[in-house]
Amino acid sequence: MRPFDHARAASVRDALDLAAARPGAVFIAGGSDLVPLWKDGVSAPPAVIDISRLPLDHIDVADGAIAIGALARMADVADHPVIRRDAPAVAEALLASASPQLRNAATIGGNLLQRTRCPYFRTPGFPCNKRAAGSGCSARGGDDRRHAIFGASERCAATHASDLAVALVALDASVELCGPDGSRTVGIEDLHVAPGDRPERETVLRPGELITAIRVPASALARRSRYLKVRDRASFDFAVVSVAAALDIADGQVREARIAAGGVGTVPWRLRGSERALRGARCADPDGVGSPGIDDAAARATDGARPLGRNGFKLELLRRCVRRVLAELTGALEPRGAGGAA
84 lies in some domain: no
pTM for this predicted structure: 0.94
* Cα 141–Cα 143–Cα 145 angle in degrees, nearest 5: 120
142 lies in some domain: no
322 lies in some domain: yes
18 lies in some domain: yes
* pLDDT for 331: 75
Sign for the CA dihedral angle at 118, 79, 227, 257 comes to negative
Give the 3-state DSSP-derived string for 21-44, with helices as H, strands as E and coil as C. CCCCCEEECCCCCHHHHHHCCCCC
Asked if pLDDT for residue 75 goes beyond 70, the answer is: yes
Q: Which residue range is the domain that position 251 belongs to?
A: 220-329
Residues 142, 63: Cα–Cα separation, whole Å = 49
Asked if pLDDT for residue 1 goes beyond 90, the answer is: no
* pLDDT for 286: 46
Sign for the CA dihedral angle at 290, 82, 211, 215 comes to positive
Residues 43, 214: Cα–Cα separation, whole Å = 26
* pLDDT for 283: 65
198 lies in some domain: no
Number of domains making up the chain: 2
**Region 21-31: what's the mean pLDDT?**
95
Asked if pLDDT for residue 80 goes beyond 70, the answer is: yes
What's 230's domain CATH number? 3.30.390.50
- In b/e form, how buried is each residue of 171-183, taking b as 16+ CB within 10 angstroms? bbbbbbbbbeeee
Sign for the CA dihedral angle at 29, 34, 35, 36 comes to positive
207 lies in some domain: no
pLDDT in tens, 166-177: 999 999 999 999
pLDDT in tens, 273-308: 999 999 988 765 444 455 688 999 999 999 999 999
Share of the chain above pLDDT 70, in %: 94
194 lies in some domain: no
pLDDT in tens, 48-67: 999 999 999 999 998 999 99
* pLDDT for 337: 62
90 lies in some domain: no
